Amino acid sequence: MEKIRIILAEDHVVVREGIRKLIQGEDDMEVVGEAGDGEEAIELVSRVEPDVVLMDIAMPKVNGIEATRRIKESYPSVSILILTAYDNEEFIFALVEAGAGGYLLKNVHGRELLNSIRAVYDGESVLHPVIVEKIFNHIEFEKGKTIRPEGNAILSQRELEVLRLSEEGLSNKEVAEKLSVGIRTIQTHWRNIFNKIGVGSRTEAILYGLREGWIKLEQGRRQGNTE
């Protein structure tokens, strides 16, 4: 079995030890590196090229927001899952814009964290329910302030369908089954969506769709369920 290769970027050693032990109990994932600050995390990614980086926000030298931005610029295929104690709206949107694929609070259960690692590895969007609520509140506040892509790029009906189904909480596999197509077709649709609207993750795409009115807020409140 091919394992998910993970870097832990967390300045508290005891937290890293706990997460590493949790991951070591899983057959499909392994920790391939640990970083105690953002600068070290960036350098480590360049050396080991992991699948997923589990990233804290408050770290020495370079914080998690800047580290995320720089990693995604150089290694767009690396998925970044934020695990933090902070639910500040400013941090949330900065990290989503930087390309983070998920944002969890440190009060999540171990099983939820493991499932979330698998989800971001598979290209899914992972958001803690508290984070989802803050996002919706922010979007309500910004109503009318739409962000348009450059040029005349718009999504096809099938791409919009993929976006809406994914926002409802369906995985790529479930979306593929719903639309009676292969999972690689769904992955191709996602690449096209990212290119057309200028984003780098499903989370960003879903937020973009909410702002544009392509997705209804009532639907969006289901997003974030990782069970």
**Residue 107 — very low, low, confident or very high, per pLDDT cuts 50/70/90?**
confident
Task: Please report the pLDDT score of residue 14 as a whole number.
Answer: 93
Is 60 exceeded by the pLDDT of residue 188?
A: yes
Mean pLDDT of the chain: 82
Is 90 exceeded by the pLDDT of residue 139?
A: no
Is 50 exceeded by the pLDDT of residue 125?
A: yes
Task: Please report the pLDDT score of residue 97 as a whole number.
Answer: 77
CATH number for the 4-137 domain, one of 3.40.50.970, 3.40.50.1450, 3.40.640.10, 3.40.50.2300?
A: 3.40.50.2300
CATH number for the 146-220 domain, one of 3.20.10.10, 1.10.4030.10, 3.10.20.30, 1.10.10.10?
A: 1.10.10.10
98 vs 82: which has the higher pLDDT: 82
**Residue 220 — very low, low, confident or very high, per pLDDT cuts 50/70/90?**
very low
**Residue 35 — very low, low, confident or very high, per pLDDT cuts 50/70/90?**
very high
Task: Please report the pLDDT score of residue 140 as a whole number.
Answer: 56
What is d(CA 134, CA 91) in angstroms, rounded to the nearest whole number? 11
Share of the chain above pLDDT 90, in %: 37
If you average pLDDT over each of 96-110, 138-152, 202-216, which comes out highest? 96-110
Q: Which helix (H) or strand (E) holds 129?
A: helix 129-141
**Across 66-115, where does the E strand assignment appear?**
79-84, 102-105
8-state DSSP, 5: E
Task: Please report the pLDDT score of residue 129 as a whole number.
Answer: 63
- Residue 220: strand, helix, or coil: helix
What is d(CA 194, CA 109) in angstroms, rounded to the nearest whole number? 31
Residue/partner pairs of 62-69 with CB below 8 Å, 24 or more apart: 62/37, 62/38, 63/38, 64/9, 64/38, 64/95, 65/91, 65/94, 65/95, 65/98, 66/38, 66/98, 67/9, 67/38, 67/39, 67/41, 67/42, 68/95, 68/98, 68/99, 68/100, 69/98, 69/99
**Which residues 6+ apart lie within 8 Å of 99 measured at CB?**
68, 69, 71, 72, 76, 80, 200, 201, 204
Task: Please report the pLDDT score of residue 115 as a whole number.
Answer: 92
**Residue 119 — very low, low, confident or very high, per pLDDT cuts 50/70/90?**
confident
Spell out a b/e string for 94-114, using b for 16 or more CB atoms within 10 Å of the CB, else e. bbbbbbbbbbbeeebeeebbb
- Report if pTM > 0.75: no
Tokens at 100, concatenated: 């983070």
If phi > 0 it is left, if psi is from -120 to 50 it is alpha, else beta; for residue 57 that is: alpha
Task: Please report the pLDDT score of residue 45 as a whole number.
Answer: 96
Domain boundaries, the chain: 4-137, 146-220
Contact 207, 147 (CB under 8 A): no
Is 80 exceeded by the pLDDT of residue 212?
A: no
55 vs 208: which has the higher pLDDT: 55
Among candidate residues 210, 164, 159, 167, the one with its CA nearest the CA of residue 186: 159
